[in-house]
Structure 1
Amino acid sequence: MRRGKYTPTPLVLSLSKDAGAARGTPFDKLRVSGVGCWTALAFAASLALTPSAHASSDPDALARAIRADDTAGTAAVLEAGTSANAALAYNESPLAHAIETQDPALVATLLRHGARPDTADALGLTPLALACERGNGAIVDSLLDARANVRKAGPDGASPLAVCARFAPADTVTRMLAMGAKPEAADARGQTPLMWAASSGNLGAMAALLKAGARVNRVTPGRFTPLAFAIKSGVPEAAKLLLDAGADASWRGPENTSAVQLAMYQKNWGAAALLVERSFADLSARDRNGNQLLHVAAAGGDAGLVALLLAKGADPDGLTGPSKIKWVTEANFGVPPPPVPPTPPLLIAAQNGQTGAMKQLTAAGADTAFVTGNGTNVVLAAAHSHSPEALDYALSLAPDADTADANGMTPLHLLLYGGWHPQLEAMLRVLAQHGARTDIPDKSGKTAAQAAAGGLTTVRDAYTHAFAASP
Structure 2
Amino acid sequence: MGLKRFGASGLALWLLAARGFAGGSNAPLADAMEQVDRASVRSLLDQRVDVNQAQVDGMTALHWAVYHDDLETAKRLVNAKANVKAANRYGVTPLSLACTNGEVALVELLLDAGADPNTTLRGNETALMTAARTGKLGAVRALLARGANVNAKERRGQTALMWAAAEGHAAVVDALLEAGADFRTALPSGFTPLFFAVREGRTDVVQRILKAGADVNEAMQPRKISGKAPSKGTSPLILAVENGHFELAAVLLEAGADPNDQRTGFTALHTLTWVRKPSRGDGDDGDPAPTGSGNMTSLQFAKTLVAKGADVNLRLKKGASGRGILSKVGATPFLLAAETADVPLMRTLVELGADPLQANAEHCTPLMAAAGVGTLAPGEEAGTEPEVLEAVALALELGGDVNAVDDNGETAMHGAAYKSLPKVVQFLADKGAKIDVWNQKNQYGWTPLLIAEGYRPGNFKPSAETIAALHRVMLANGVSPPTKLPGSSD
TM-score, normalised to structure 2's length? Answer: 0.61
Distance in structure 2 (CA, Å) of the matches to 1:111 and 1:358: 67
Match of residue 71 from structure 1: 36
* 1:140-155 matches, cutoff 5 A: 141-147=105-111, 148-155=115-122
State the one-letter code of the partner of 1:386: G
Per-residue deviation, 1:161: 1.2
Cα shift at 1:345: 0.5
What CA distance in whole angstroms lies between the structure 2 residues aligned with 1:121 and 1:323? 54
* Letter of the structure 1 residue corresponding to residue 419 of structure 2: L
Corresponding position: 1:295 with 2:270:
yes
* Whole-angstrom distance in 2 between the partners of 1:168 and 1:450: 59
* Aligned-partner Cα distance in 2 for 1:103–1:431: 69
Determine which structure has more spread, i.e. the larger CA radius of gyration.
1
Q: Indicate the residue corresponding to 1:285 in structure 2.
A: 261
SS in 2 for 1:416: coil
CA contact (8 A) 1:218 1:225 kept: yes
Q: 1:298 touches 1:348 (CA, 8 Å); kept in 2?
A: yes
Q: CA deviation at 1:243?
A: 1.7
Aligned residue for 2:395? 397
**What is the letter of the counterpart of residue 294 of structure 1?**
L
Cα displacement (A) at 1:174: 2.8
Asked whether the 8 Å contact 1:117–1:143 carries over to 2, the reply is no
Question: Is the alpha carbon distance of 1:202 and 1:123 closer, same or farther for their aligned partners in structure 2, counting shifts above 3 Å?
Answer: same
Matched, 1:202 2:199: no
1:365 aligns with 2:353: yes
Shift of 1:385: 1.9
On the 8 A contact 1:190/1:220 being kept in 2, the answer is yes
Q: Which one of 49, 57, 62 corresponds to residue 31 of structure 2?
A: 62
Q: 1:276 aligns with which of 253, 258, 264?
A: 253
The question of whether the paired residues in 1 share the 8 Å contact of 2:388 and 2:424 is answered with no
**C-alpha separation in 2, matches of 1:230 and 1:92:** 36
| 1:165 and 2:135 matched | no
After TM superposition, list the pairs within 5 Å mapping 1:192-231 onto structure 2: 192-217=159-184, 225-231=192-198
1:346 to 2:343 alignment: no
Aligned to 1:239: 206
Q: CA deviation at 1:5?
A: 2.2
- Deviations 1:146-183 (CA, angstroms, capped at 9, x unpaired): 33432223454432112211222333323333444343
Q: CA deviation at 1:311?
A: 1.5
Task: Provide the rounded CA distance (Å) in 2 between the counterparts of 1:378 and 1:196.
Answer: 44
Aligned to 2:314: 318
The DSSP-based 3-state class of the residue aligned with 1:317 is: coil
Q: Which structure carries more helix by proportion? A: 1
Q: CA deviation at 1:354?
A: 3.9
Distance 1:230 1:16, change over 3 A: closer
User: 1:285 is matched by which residue type in structure 2?
Assistant: D
Cα distance in structure 1, aligned partners of 2:299 and 2:214: 27
Does the 8 Å contact 1:300/1:354 carry over to 2?
no
Which residue type is aligned with residue 398 of structure 1?
A: L
User: What is the CA–CA distance in structure 2 between the aligned matches of 1:433 and 1:444, rounded to whole Å?
Assistant: 18
After superposition, the C-alpha distances for 1:101-140 in whole angstroms (9 at most, x for unaligned) are: x7535x87577556644322445343433554x4x333x6
Distance 2:163 2:154 in 1: 10
Q: 1:375: how far off?
A: 6.1
Q: 1:236–1:268: 8 Å Cα contact kept in structure 2?
A: no
Q: How big is the shift at 1:407? A: 4.9
Structure 1: which 5+ runs fail to align?
A: 22-55, 325-336, 418-427
Distance 2:22 2:207 in 1: 53
Alpha-carbon spacing, 1:445–1:104, altered in 2? closer, same or farther (3 Å): same
Q: Distance in 2 between matches of 1:239 and 1:295?
A: 23
Answer yes or no: is 1:306 the counterpart of 2:302: yes
User: Among the aligned pairs, what percent are the same residue?
Assistant: 25
What is the alpha-carbon root mean square deviation over aligned residues? 5.0
Amino acid at match of 1:292: T
Q: Mark the CA change 1:391 to 1:118 in structure 2 (over 3 Å): closer, same or farther.
A: farther
Instruction: State the TM-score, normalizing by the size of structure 1.
Output: 0.63
Aligned residues: 388
The Cα of 1:276 is off from its aligned counterpart by 1.9
Q: How does 1:40-59 map to 2 (within 5 A)?
A: 57=27
Residues in 2 aligned to 1:344 and 1:211: alpha-carbon distance in whole angstroms: 44
